[in-house]
Each structure stands twice: as C-alpha cells, then as structure tokens.
Structure 1
Amino acid sequence: MLMAEKKIRSLNRLSRETGVSAPALARLYDGTNVRIDYSTIESLCSYFQCGIGDLLEYVPD
C-alpha cells in the first residue's frame, strides 16, 4: 500500500531510492525475512514518512 501511494511498481526502484538492497526488500515483501536492521527500518520510515507500525505487523504463529 505504501508503495502504491508513491506509485512505485518495482522493488528495484525502491532499492535505488532508499539505499536498501533489493534482496532485503524482497524478503520483507514476501515475509520471508528472519531479521531486519535498524538502518533498513529507518530508511523505509524516512522514505515513506511513516511509523514502524505502518511497515511491520506482528502475527503470532
């Protein structure tokens, strides 16, 4: 949804504009990441002008 609001259609473009690697973004997008660096959260929150809760959601197993 955040990507759609900024009219970003590819993770490669988001990677170029945020400095976050495309593989890291793909893992976040697919929900296959095991951990996330603070710098990644900071870059994405800054880029999208949002809070952490807009990026991440805790879903118990």
Structure 2
Amino acid sequence: MIRCHLGRLMGERKMNIADVMRETGIKRTMLTLMYKDEVQRLDMDALDKLCRLFACEVKDLLEFDSSAPQKEAE
C-alpha cells in the first residue's frame, strides 16, 4: 500500500487545504483525498507541485508500506 503524508507535511508548516489549493492550483477534492490518505490515482503534475511547495522529495510525500494490505480499487 502507498501511504500519503500530505497531512503531516501540512501540519509541520501549519497549512490547511485552502492554503495548499491556493499555492498549487490543485483541486480541493484531490487534496482532501490525499490528506485523508484515500487517493487512488495521482497526477504527476500535482505531485511535482506539492514537492515544490513543500521543498521535499517524493519519498517525503509518499511511502510504500509492504506490511499494509493492498487497497482494492473501487
């Protein structure tokens, strides 16, 4: 399972979804899914924008957890 750490990165910088949306142009629905770690698909452009905003690498935003069960596609 892939884990998304957007919520942690936002918390460290005291940002909310509206702040990230305003800075990146990424839609609120996508950010909310990422924040809740429920996103199924991720646009590479969105990933690029988030890494630039948080001055981080992809590994800081996403993590592969082999011990967690795989999410079923809906």
Q: TM-score category by the smaller chain? A: 0.7 to 0.9
How do residues 21-36 of structure 1 correspond to structure 2 at under 5 angstroms?
21-36=27-42
Q: Which has the higher helix share?
A: 1
Q: How does 1:1-61 map to 2 (within 5 A)?
A: 1-8=8-15, 10-60=16-66, 61=69
- What TM-score do you get using the length of structure 1 for normalisation? 0.85
Uncovered stretches (5+) of structure 2, i.e. residues with no partner: 1-7, 70-74
CA RMSD of aligned residues (A): 1.2
- Same amino acid, percent of matched pairs: 33
Residues matched between the structures, number = 60
TM-score by length of 2: 0.72
1:19 is displaced (CA, Å) by 1.1
Question: Larger radius of gyration, structure 1 or 2?
Answer: 2
Larger RCO: 1 or 2 (CA < 8 Å, sep 6+)? 2
Cα distance change on mapping 1:33 and 1:17 into 2, 3 Å: same
- Which ranges in structure 1 are unaligned for 5 or more consecutive residues? none
